[in-house]
Amino acid sequence: MPMILQKKCIFHLVYRVQHNTTTWNTSKGASPPSGKGSEGVPWRWIKMLHLRIRPLPRLQPASSIPTQSAPPSDFHNEDNSNDDDSAEDLFSAFLPHLFPDDAPSFHGDPGQRLLYTSPRYGDLEIMLFAHFLWSAAMVVAEGVEKADTLATRGELDADTAMWMVRGERVLELGAGTALPSIICARAHAAAVTITDHPSSPALTGAIDFNIRRNLAATEAEVMSQPHEWGMLEPDPWAVAHRGAFTRIIAADCYWVRSQHENLVRSMNWFLAPGGKIWVVAGFHTGRAIVAWFFETAMQNGLEIERIYERDLIATSEDGGEVRREWMPEREGEGPENRRRWCVVALLQRRE
C-alpha cells in the first residue's frame, strides 16, 4: 500500500475510535462494545494523554545513532524515503487509541524524534537517542503546563497548585529525555538542573539536544549535571548543592529495587526546607516495586503529603483526570490492565 494511503487509513481509524463513530455491522454477527470502557469510563470520554506525541522522520538509522554526542541543532535529514519505517512509527504511535487497556509505559525507540504538542507552549521536539519517553514524564509535564496556564488566568485551584514551579529551583533525577525539566523551564522556574547517571549517553545526547532545541529563549537558568544516586559527599557538585532545590522530579525511576535507598538519599540531600518531591511511576514492572519505594522513603525521613492513581487514557465527563485511591496491592490486576494506570505522589521531609 502506498505510504499516503497507509497514513490516511491510520488517521481515519483513530479518528473513528476517538469520536465513537465506528459503524458496527451487526447483520454479520459483530456487536458494538459496551457503553463503558475499563473502570466504567464512558467510551465517548476516552481522551489520550498520548495524543500529544507524534513521531517525526528519523535523522538517521537507529543502529548508527551516536550515543556520546548530539547532532547540531540545525541538522536535518531530507531523505524521507524509508516509508515502511515511517508507517510503522505512525501506527505504533496510535496503538493506545485502539487498545486503551494496553497503553504503553514509554514511547518511541532509540534514534527517533518525537513531536510533543503542548497546549501551553506549542510543539517541542524531543530526541530519544538511547532512551524512551516515559508516560510518567508526560504526566509531570502536563501537570506543570496546566498549573502555569491556570495561574496565568487567575484560575489556579488547590488541586493543581501542587504542580506550580514559577520561581522554584527544580532538580530532575534520572531525567532521560528531560521533558519535565524542559516544561518547568518554560513555566518560569527560577532554575532547572537536569541529572542522569554519569555513564548515561543522555547527558551529551538527548538532554543536550533537547535543551538546545527547545530552550533557546528561556529565562530560567538551565544546566545538566551527571549524578549517581546516593553518591553525595565525595561529589563536589552535590556538596555545593545540598538543600538547594525546592522541587524534585523523579518520574519512573523505581524499577531497580536495589537503588531505592540511594534514590531516597539523593532526594533527602538535595531537598530544600519546605521543598516537595514529585513521584510518578507506572506499573509496567509491577505494583509491588513501587510500593517498596514508598516504604523505603518513609523509613528514611520522607512522608507522603498526597497520593493517588491516575488513568493515563481516559478523562472524566467534565474533562478532568480519572483517579482512584492508591493501593499497594490491587486484586485482579495483571499486565493486561495495569499499564493504563500510574501513581502520582507528593512527598516532603518529615518534620
Which tens digits make up the pLDDT trace of 133-167? 678 999 999 999 999 999 999 999 999 999 999 99
Which tens digits make up the pLDDT trace of 19-73? 443 333 333 333 333 333 334 433 333 345 556 666 666 554 333 333 333 333 3
Task: Indicate the pairing of strand 321-324 with strand 341-349.
Answer: unpaired
| 50-59, 124-133, 160-169, 316-325: which is most confident | 160-169
With a cut of 50, say whether residue 283 has pLDDT above it: yes
Q: How many degrees, rounded to 5, is the angle at CA 284 between CA 310 and CA 289?
A: 90
Q: Given this model, what pLDDT does residue 89 score?
A: 45
Task: Indicate the pairing of strand 271-282 with strand 106-107.
Answer: unpaired
pLDDT > 90 fraction of the chain, expressed in percent and rounded: 49
Distance in angstroms (rounded) separating the CA atoms of residues 65 and 71:
10
Average pLDDT over residues 108-137: 68
Average pLDDT score over the chain: 76
Q: Given this model, what pLDDT does residue 49 score?
A: 59
pLDDT > 70 fraction of the chain, expressed in percent and rounded: 65
Average pLDDT over residues 323-350: 93
Residue with cell 512522608: 303
Distance in angstroms (rounded) separating the CA atoms of residues 38 and 137:
23
Q: CB within 8 A of 59, min separation 6: which ones?
A: 65, 71, 75, 76, 77, 111, 113, 127
Task: Indicate the pairing of strand 53-56 with strand 113-118.
Answer: antiparallel
pLDDT band at 176 (very low <50, low <70, confident <90, very high): confident
Which tens digits make up the pLDDT trace of 211-222? 998 998 777 999
Distance in angstroms (rounded) separating the CA atoms of residues 276 and 267:
10
Q: CB within 8 A of 316, min separation 6: which ones?
A: 41, 45, 322
pLDDT greater at residue 13 or residue 321: 321
Backbone dihedral angles phi then psi of residue 210, each to the nearest 5 degrees = -70, -35
With a cut of 70, say whether residue 287 has pLDDT above it: yes
pLDDT band at 90 (very low <50, low <70, confident <90, very high): very low
Buried b (16+ CB within 10 A) or exposed e, 240-271: ebeebbbbbbbbbbbeeeebbebbbbbbbbbb
What is the total residue count of the chain? 351
Distance in angstroms (rounded) separating the CA atoms of residues 224 and 283:
28
Q: Given this model, what pLDDT does residue 44 score?
A: 34
Structural contact between residues 171 and 247, judged by C-beta atoms closer than 8 angstroms: yes
* Weakest mean pLDDT among 36-45, 81-90, 195-204, 332-341: 36-45
Average pLDDT over residues 1-17: 45
pLDDT greater at residue 341 or residue 67: 341
Distance in angstroms (rounded) separating the CA atoms of residues 290 and 253:
10
pLDDT greater at residue 229 or residue 115: 229
pLDDT band at 121 (very low <50, low <70, confident <90, very high): confident
Distance in angstroms (rounded) separating the CA atoms of residues 332 and 2:
44
Which domains are seen in the chain, by residue range?
134-349 (3.40.50.150)
Distance in angstroms (rounded) separating the CA atoms of residues 106 and 84:
22
With a cut of 70, say whether residue 248 has pLDDT above it: yes
Task: Indicate the pairing of strand 169-172 with strand 245-251.
Answer: parallel
Q: Is 188 helix (H, G, I), strand (E, B) or coil?
A: coil
C-alpha cell at 133: 519517553
Residue with cell 487497556: 101
Q: DSSP character for 23?
A: P
Q: Provide the β-strand partners of residue 221.
A: 191
Q: Is 229 helix (H, G, I), strand (E, B) or coil?
A: coil
With a cut of 70, say whether residue 1 has pLDDT above it: no
With a cut of 60, say whether residue 80 has pLDDT above it: no
| pTM value surpassing 0.85 | no
Average pLDDT over residues 76-88: 41
With a cut of 70, say whether residue 275 has pLDDT above it: yes
- Would you tell me how many other CB atoms lie within 10 Å of the CB of residue 10? 17
Q: CB within 8 A of 62, min separation 6: which ones?
A: 109, 110, 111, 112
